[in-house]
Amino acid sequence: MTETIIQSSNLFLPTILIPLLPLIGFIINGLFGKKLGHASGWIATLVMFASLACSMFLFFNLPSGTTETVTLSNWFYFNDIFIPFAFLIDPLTITMLLVVTGIGSLIHLYSIGYMHHDEGFARFFTYLNLFVFFMLLLVMGNNYLIMFIGWEGVGLCSYLLIGFWFKNQAYNDAAKKAFIMNRIGDLGFLLGMFMMLYHFKSLNYDKVAIGAMSLGVNHITVVGITLFLFIGAMGKSAQLPLYTWLPDAMAGPTPVSALIHAATMVTAGIYMIARSNIIYSLAPHTLDVILIIGTATSLFAAIIGLLQNDIKKVLAYSTVSQLGLMFAALGMGAFESGMFHVVTHAFFKALLFLGAGSVIHALGGEQDMRRMGGLGKYIKITFLTFLIGTIAISGIPPFAGFFSKDEILASAFEHNKVIWGLLSFSSMLTAFYMFRLLYLTFSNSFRGTEEVKHHIHESPTVMTLPLIILAACSTVVGFIGLPPVLSHSHNFKNYLSSVFAQSKTILPAGHQMSHSMEWILIATAVGLAIVSIAFAYFKYVKQKQTPLEDEQLKGISKVISNKFYVDEIYNAVFVKPIMLLSDLFLVIIDKLVIDLLVHGVAFVTAQFGRGLRLLQTGHVGFYMFAMVISMIILLALQIFNIFNFLHI
């Protein structure tokens, strides 16, 4: 069963360099970060750009429609189970590689400016490099085990970076919450892997797919595996009911929110399902579950986002909502559309987070939108780039968000009209709260204190440059996937077609939509977005309304503002009973049983020792007598076969 290690390919070196470079950066920064000072940030950024260059090389050199496997070692054998340590390079991987290294590089660059005054500067870049390494492992592995290593690793880095300012207890709690929520999902992932090992004797993507295909559609095993894997995705990608960690994760530094909690890590769940598209296609029941949960999350998070006042919280809920949209796309079997939205969303959401970071930087740490306003005059570059990001996420052509969103909505319309309605409503809400955010932050006059106002300044070039690049990308990246009415070739779809070809044959093919229908859908979507933007304009610019203080809220808005009390419900339903149970165990099992056992053993030993030490008379003659008599006894026992029962 040995598989030969192929090293002849000219893609070998760049392939292993991609994850290796961030790892080297991590090691250098981790070991010498303190001495390097601010150079560590530049090292981290440099390895990221080098990694990006390698990804580009792969992108241009991999023949289209082919797959390359780079095996580093035959990792382990166990009975008939064989797991190689190998990387799988195909269009889907390269897409993710470009997103991770591309946006990762820009965010590293941005962080040099953002974290400049922080005492944990080197530590920050160490974690960031480690995160990128694990993320690359996640997307590059050719089996679920390597993906799982990356999966756990990014979870760890997420934990470390959310709790980056560990002196604040609330931030630590947020980090723990993220970690525990992710663990719940990871358990699902792990169970899914166990089922795969049990039924298919392999964790390789292709072998699992072949095994699943031999079982047939909606076989209970495949449905089980896919559901378990989806639980993992729910945790990592913040879907109902495991989404509550993501808004709290905003405790971390803003570049972290941009990189981990918007652009890359949270899309790991979507990547995983797209990667497993064949087994998911074989389990339509699971796809239905994904569709429902994705749609519900999208709507739910959008509604909560309407009344949040923390600039980062709004973006966090918008991320949850957009992730829900992507899952809905996957649930409809529109894997390319989901991946397309991953790509466009990565650009504009990273842009929005970095813009928010720039705003926070300008205001010296203020995050409450009620204390902002009128910033457009002071920080022009941030304002303009943020505006582009907002337009992109709202779905106004020709910016990136429009194309991907429109594609998902079109699939939804084909699939189920109700889902289409709900998703359209959620997009409308998205447009509204994003422009609410924009107006509250940048329009009208400043509402904060004079001291803060005096201090407002534009960010340095290392921060504005990534903003400008991301804004440019957010503008044009949508053109890689033009809808059928505008263009005959959908470049992105074509690029990924080889990955999803097999699942297309399994899933029932949707009938081709007529062009007029498509125009109507586009017009509806854009119309709804414009209406909600206009409403936001009317409300927050014309009427100059500002959100009420927390105490003044009542009725339904109070419920929404408090996030439907989900945290409180989880607290009451899960946390409190567990705490109670652990108190109970503490008193009964721990204090009574275990302590009694441990202390009892110690007590008995001590008493024996107290008694037996009297034998230690100090008289050599006595010792010798004891020795000789013991010798006699031992020999006698041997002779009279006393030890026979021991079978010595």
Question: What is the binding site for another protein (CB under 8 A)?
Answer: 613-614, 616-621, 624-625, 628-629, 631-632, 635-636, 638-639
Tokens coding 94: 């390269």
Would you say 454 or 619 has its CB closer to another protein?
Answer: 619
Would you say 584 or 628 has its CB closer to another protein?
Answer: 628
Q: Which helix (H) or strand (E) holds 170?
A: helix 169-200
610-637 burial code (b ≥16 CB/10 A, e <16) = eeeeeeeeeeeeeeeeeeeeeeeeeeee
Rounded to the nearest whole angstrom, what is the least distance from the CB of residue 599 to another protein in the complex? 24
Would you say 486 or 636 has its CB closer to another protein?
Answer: 636
Rounded to the nearest whole angstrom, what is the least distance from the CB of residue 621 to another protein in the complex? 6
Rounded to the nearest whole angstrom, what is the least distance from the CB of residue 624 to another protein in the complex? 6
Q: Which residues pair with 494 in a beta bridge?
A: none
Among 359, 331, 400, residue whose Cα is nearest residue 99:
400
User: What is the separation, in whole angstroms, between the first and last Cα of the chain?
Assistant: 44
Among 320, 312, 301, 302, residue whose Cα is nearest residue 372:
312
CB atoms within 10 A of CB 538: 11
Rounded to the nearest whole angstrom, what is the least distance from the CB of residue 617 to another protein in the complex? 6
Question: Which residues, 6 or more positions from 638, have their beta carbon under 8 angstroms from its beta carbon?
Answer: none
Distance CA 439, CA 631 (A): 95
Distance CA 137, CA 134 (A): 5
Burial of 53 (0-12, 13-18, 19+ CB in 10 A): middle
Rounded to the nearest whole angstrom, what is the least distance from the CB of residue 629 to another protein in the complex? 6
One-character DSSP codes across 73-110:
EEEEEETTEEEEEEEEESHHHHHHHHHHHHHHHHHHHH
Rounded to the nearest whole angstrom, what is the least distance from the CB of residue 252 to another protein in the complex? 60
Would you say 31 or 624 has its CB closer to another protein?
Answer: 624
Would you say 1 or 615 has its CB closer to another protein?
Answer: 615
Would you say 502 or 605 has its CB closer to another protein?
Answer: 605
**CA distances to 477, 491, 499 from 495, in Å:** 14, 6, 9
Rounded to the nearest whole angstrom, what is the least distance from the CB of residue 631 to another protein in the complex? 7
Would you say 593 or 629 has its CB closer to another protein?
Answer: 629
- Residue for token digits 């008694």? 611
Would you say 60 or 640 has its CB closer to another protein?
Answer: 640
Distance CA 501, CA 283 (A): 16
544-574 burial code (b ≥16 CB/10 A, e <16) = eebbeeeeebeeeeeebbebeebeeebeeee
- Count CA within 13 A, CB hemisphere, residue 360: 22
Rounded to the nearest whole angstrom, what is the least distance from the CB of residue 603 to another protein in the complex? 19
Rounded to the nearest whole angstrom, what is the least distance from the CB of residue 7 to another protein in the complex? 47
Rounded to the nearest whole angstrom, what is the least distance from the CB of residue 602 to another protein in the complex? 19
Rounded to the nearest whole angstrom, what is the least distance from the CB of residue 573 to another protein in the complex? 59
Question: Which residues, 6 or more positions from 108, have their beta carbon under 8 angstroms from its beta carbon?
Answer: 41, 44, 45, 48, 125, 128
Distance CA 124, CA 133 (A): 14
Among 573, 510, 506, 511, residue whose Cα is nearest residue 226:
506
Would you say 418 or 606 has its CB closer to another protein?
Answer: 606
Would you say 581 or 626 has its CB closer to another protein?
Answer: 626
Rounded to the nearest whole angstrom, what is the least distance from the CB of residue 75 to another protein in the complex? 44
Would you say 556 or 624 has its CB closer to another protein?
Answer: 624
* H helix intervals, 115-168: 121-140, 144-162
Would you say 7 or 638 has its CB closer to another protein?
Answer: 638
Q: Which amino acid is at 210?
A: I
